[in-house]
Amino acid sequence: DADVTQTPRNRITKTGKRIMLECSQTKGHDRMYWYRQDPGLGLRLIYYSFDVKDINKGEISDGYSVSRQAQAKFSLSLESAIPNQTALYFCATSDLGRVYGYTFGSGTRLTVV
Amino acid sequence: QKEVEQNSGPLSVPEGAIASLNCTYSDRVSQSFFWYRQYSGKSPELIMSIYSNGDKEDGRFTAQLNKASQYVSLLIRDSQPSDSATYLCAVIRGRDAGNKLTFGGGTRVLVKP
């Protein structure tokens, strides 16, 4: 089993719908992150969490919300999806991130039509 | 000015040659630097990390860091077609208690047989 699991892998949804992307990890890391990737723009941070009670906004949090249900689970929600939220979404975890970097999930490809 | 900048490429390299990738960053007190490889539609995979000035070698990969000039580079020796991918430079900025990675836009590398 993968260390960081994202579901679903692919999703097509309609404008205005609410959608949740889920992430779970077995690495025992405290820190979890949600990034989105658009062609040519690299990965941009949406939200991050240091533990269940510590949630922080990243550089592009507008239109998104998150929930840290447990140390191992971190969900990203789009309350009312819009087409420019079409992107590849990655969940990542870290322990001592400045030394070891991050471990990424396999990604969720989201298309909003 | 972007925090982390890379030439988007594509960088076309003959098989067996050296591929040289560059990355510049704006925060002078950035402390940790990473190179990730990403195949199309897949998640980023950590290939190198470097924290102090100089060179760090791992197999066919060499990372070079020059903090005075604020750049980090990656050399891929004896390039193989399997090295064809997008390479992402990532930085942890100084004074960042969250150890958040900031990514460049990536350089696409094409190794031609």
Q: Could you report the per-residue pLDDT of A52-78, keeping only the tens digit for each? A: 999 999 999 999 999 999 999 999 999
| Distance, CA of A63 to chain centre | 13
CA distances from B10 to A81, B13, B63, B106, B110 (A): 33, 9, 20, 10, 7
Q: Give the pLDDT score at A42.
A: 84
Q: Is the separation of the CB atoms in A93 and A29 below 8 Å? A: yes
Chain B residues with CB under 8 Å of A102 CB are 46, 101
How much is the average pLDDT of B15-36?
93
Are residues A104 and B44, on separate chains, in Cβ contact within 8 Å?
Answer: yes
Structure-token match 């031609």, residue found: B112
Kindly tell me if the per-residue pLDDT of B6 is higher than 90. yes
Measure CB to CB from residue B32 to each of A31, A98, A107 and give the nearest one: A98
Chain A residues with CB under 8 Å of B31 CB are 98
Q: Give the pLDDT score at B97.
A: 61
C-alpha closest to that of B46 among B64, B34, B61, B56: B34
Q: Give the pLDDT score at A98.
A: 56
Q: Give the pLDDT score at A89.
A: 98
Are residues A48 and B98, on separate chains, in Cβ contact within 8 Å?
Answer: yes
* B5 compared with B93, residue with greater pLDDT: B5
Kindly tell me if the per-residue pLDDT of B10 is higher than 80. yes
Q: Could you report the per-residue pLDDT of A74-101, keeping only the tens digit for each? A: 999 999 999 999 999 999 998 865 567 7
C-alpha span between B83 and A97 (Å, rounded): 25
How close A1 gets to chain B, by Cα (Å)? 16
Which residues on neighbouring strands pair with residue B41, listed in sequence order?
Answer: none
